[in-house]
């Protein structure tokens, strides 16, 4: 028997931590517990999503 938890939130990290470094540490934590993760990750700076090309995208509160 398995169950799932949906996570909706943000993790605050120091500026020097890259998205890749954060995700690697997050996945290491998940895998060290023999769990799995399905989903995505978005970088947010000053309330704006950061596009894959590094430009500022939509504000997190925009629908």
pTM of the model: 0.78
Q: Contacts by 28-33 with C-beta closer than 8 Å and gap 24+?
A: none
User: Quick one: how far is CA 59 from the chain centroid?
Assistant: 16
pLDDT confidence of residue 25: 98
Given a cut of 90, whether residue 42 has pLDDT beyond it is yes
Given a cut of 90, whether residue 63 has pLDDT beyond it is no
pLDDT-derived band at 57, boundaries 50, 70, 90: very high
pLDDT-derived band at 54, boundaries 50, 70, 90: very high
pLDDT confidence of residue 32: 99
CA distance 44 to 46: 7
In degrees, rounded to 5, the angle at the alpha carbon of residue 37 between the alpha carbons of residues 24 and 12 is 50
Q: Where are the alpha helices (DSSP H) in the chain?
A: 19-32
Q: Where are the domains of the chain?
A: 19-59
């Amino acid at each position: 028997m398995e169950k799932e938890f949906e996570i909706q939130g943000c993790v605050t990290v120091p500026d020097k931590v890259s998205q890749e470094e954060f995700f690697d540490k997050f996945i290491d934590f998940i895998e060290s517990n023999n769990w799995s993760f399905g989903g995505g990750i978005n970088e947010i700076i000053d309330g704006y999503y950061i596009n894959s090309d590094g430009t500022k995208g939509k504000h997190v509160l925009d629908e």
